[in-house]
Structure 1
Amino acid sequence: MNYKNETLRNALAAEYVLGTLRGGARRRYQQLMMESQLITETTWMWEQYLNGLGQNVQPVEPPASVWQAIERQLGLADDSADSNVVAMPAAKSSRPVVWQAIAGLATAAAIILAVVLMPATPPVKAPVTDIAVVTDAEAKPLWLIEISTSTLAVRTTANLTARTDKDFELWMVPADGGAPISLGLLPEGGQLAISRPDWFDLADIAALAVSLEPNGGSPSGAPTEVLYIAPISAV
């Protein structure tokens, strides 16, 4: 797979998150996730997009007739149990046909989502040029940091356990081996946009780091306890 093709990469990530990428294709994608940080980051972003989309949709209880029709179509219901419902004729090999249709519709939905959720016109905010994913010891993402020419946009994941007694602080690790420079405290929920400092030059940065600090940040101006190191990757 040419995962550098953004359209293809987003479509496959959306299918994977929705669960419509199956069989050998799903296993190959999972293997690719272990080999490519770009694929892992794209998948993580789609999880955030789709989970957020689902949270904004109000649940709707379908009528009982809908479930009855589905059960009859799948051959799981006894039509004689409900004399008020008109029986639907069963097609040959109905079960494979139904599941093929469902899979096809789900795949189409994933591709449509990939198109709909991608902005049709250039966004007002500066485009993201680089990205860093802060992960824990089990490679679970904790923060996603999107870097543009004007901001560092930080988003928290559900894997992060918030601390009331401590704060997490973000640091720039200079490539020349100099002392880390603080970029501010990290959010422990939701998202935060940090203005990109004028001196923040990617060519001079080896990585980003996260430290655990007393409430309010480092008292010494240097990291107290470094927990995570996150490399920066071009989008």
Structure 2
Amino acid sequence: MTERDIPEQEDAELLAAEYVLGTLPLDEREAASTRIRRDAHFALAVERWQNRLSPLNAAYAEVPAPNLMPKIEAQLFGVPAPAVKKSAFWKSWFGGAAIAAALGVAVLVYLPTAPLPFATLTTLTAENSDLRYEVGLRGNELRIARIGGPAAEAGRVHELWLIVGNAAPVSLGLITGADKTLATTGLAPGMVLAVSLEPTGGSPTGAPTGPVLVTGVIEKI
């Protein structure tokens, strides 16, 4: 990446794009990975580029990885000598035991497990309002659920915002139903989450244009 005299915000967008495309040198990629964990705005920029470029994957069919283990083992240990033939009885017995063992391993590996629950981050509320949203986090998944009050009226929508210090609010997405799960990274204690009332399709300006309905502060992660 060449050195350019460009605004910091534009520089962050370019760095996020190069990070997603995989064109950064190793040292710059490691620095960008560290910045994702510490800088919520940069983490959201990376997420936006991932969402923009993800449709490109649809043009490529999945190709199974070749099984290189036999060749690697042959190079390391040589080709094993032919096994001594056993009687049909012993071959049948050992074959049945191997199948049973393989099935046992498969059951252990593929036994479904219940997903971890969302850890509650905060509840978004406001004085003299019945509207309440509960916000939870599970890994990089943020879930916001309306637990009180009405949905947005026809022609309007609730939009979720992240506010970090004195920086401008950043939209995390629209809440079109009773709950919504969003992908996000870089959240930290002290950050503020807010819901505003916007036109259908979301804010046309990239900042809240309608009234802020409820807010909440992230206490801990």
TM-score (norm 2): 0.43
| Higher gyration radius (CA) | 2
TM-score (norm 1): 0.41
| Higher RCO, 1 vs 2 (CA within 8 Å, ≥6 residues apart) | 2
